[in-house]
Amino acid sequence: MDTDPWARFRGAGVGFRLTSRAMRVVDLDRDMSDVIPTGTTRDSEFLFERMTRATLDATRPAPGRRILDVASGFGQDAIALRASSGADVIGAEPSARMMAWTRFKSGETEGPLPEWVRGWGDALPFADDCFDGAFCKGALDHFDQPLEAIGEMARVTRPGGRVVLAIANFDSFSCRAARCADDVREGAFGAEVARGRRHYDVPADHFTRYELGLMREQASRHVVLEEVIGISMAWGFPFWTRAVQALPDALADRILTFLDGAARKLPGLADVIVLAGRPREDSD
């Protein structure tokens, strides 16, 4: 039996600190019903591939660099980053259910794997300045204390390192247009809009409704922003998914790529926004 479960991290130069916090029930056992399926439609697959690639690239991974995946979920991003770049990756995740699934999937993966640690994003169990980069992809709006989580990512990242956040934008072109269309249908024509949550409604398991201004404001408290990247445009707009699914592959790819280029220039209208920069020296 391993008498010191932290020894492998200390050997790699990762320091730890003890943390304590009041017990609370948050988003530890969610049923994933509001997660966008990554491979069922062409526009979803495009969105997630671009989101993942932009997020991981923004950490500037390389062999020997130490990268932290905050709220690592099922571990797929940490595993992909470790395999593609040779960086030393650690995934931190508070959910026992997700950690169990991560370890199960890790057993099916060949080659070097990340290390896994249970930990809250807003109370990371690591010493200051021990990572070259830290990222959180698609999870910040699930945190009940997102500002503290961003501060923790900045704290554990060395000066000059990279802090990367990828967040769904609920003020995107698609959300605005779909909301306006529903308002017109209901108000002007008296049409009944489908019941239940629509894609522009914030899911029940989200604590924050993010748009570009709020993302910039929160991130800038702890991070000197160097990149703000818009990813994809028009995801979720009524009939768009079916329309792009029906197009020939080459034409659909050109349209999706064109809209992604527009999102880069107009991140406030993008479906997802990736923010990246270095920790602020005056961060509290």
What pLDDT is attached to residue 189?
59
What pLDDT is attached to residue 11?
53
C-alpha to C-alpha distances, 183 to 62, 186, 199, nearest whole angstrom = 49, 5, 14
Tell me what the mean pLDDT of segment 164-187 comes to. 87
Tell me what the mean pLDDT of segment 232-247 comes to. 90
Tell me what the mean pLDDT of segment 99-107 comes to. 83
Q: Is the pLDDT of residue 26 over 70?
A: no
Tell me what the mean pLDDT of segment 132-152 comes to. 96
Give yes or no for a contact between 117 and 90, defined as CB atoms under 8 angstroms apart: yes
Q: Is the pLDDT of residue 2 over 50?
A: no
Between 252 and 35, the higher pLDDT residue: 252
Give yes or no for a contact between 224 and 27, defined as CB atoms under 8 angstroms apart: no
Q: Is the pLDDT of residue 113 over 80?
A: yes
- Mean pLDDT, all residues of the chain: 86
C-alpha to C-alpha distances, 279 to 144, 225, 236, nearest whole angstrom = 22, 9, 34
Q: Is the pLDDT of residue 34 over 70?
A: no
Q: Residue ranges per domain, the chain?
A: 39-279
Tell me what the mean pLDDT of segment 32-41 comes to. 55
> What region, left, alpha or beta, does residue 66 occupy, with left being phi > 0 and alpha being psi -120 to 50 degrees?
beta
Say which amino acid occupies 110. E
Cα–Cα distance for residue pair 199/197, rounded to 1 Å? 7
* DSSP code, position 139: -
What pLDDT is attached to residue 1?
38
What pLDDT is attached to residue 5?
41
What pLDDT is attached to residue 96?
87
- Report the relative pairing of strands 272-279 and 223-231 from DSSP bridges: antiparallel
Classify 39-279 by CATH class: alpha beta
Q: Is the pLDDT of residue 192 over 80?
A: no
Tell me what the mean pLDDT of segment 113-137 comes to. 95
Q: Is the pLDDT of residue 206 over 90?
A: no
What pLDDT is attached to residue 106?
80
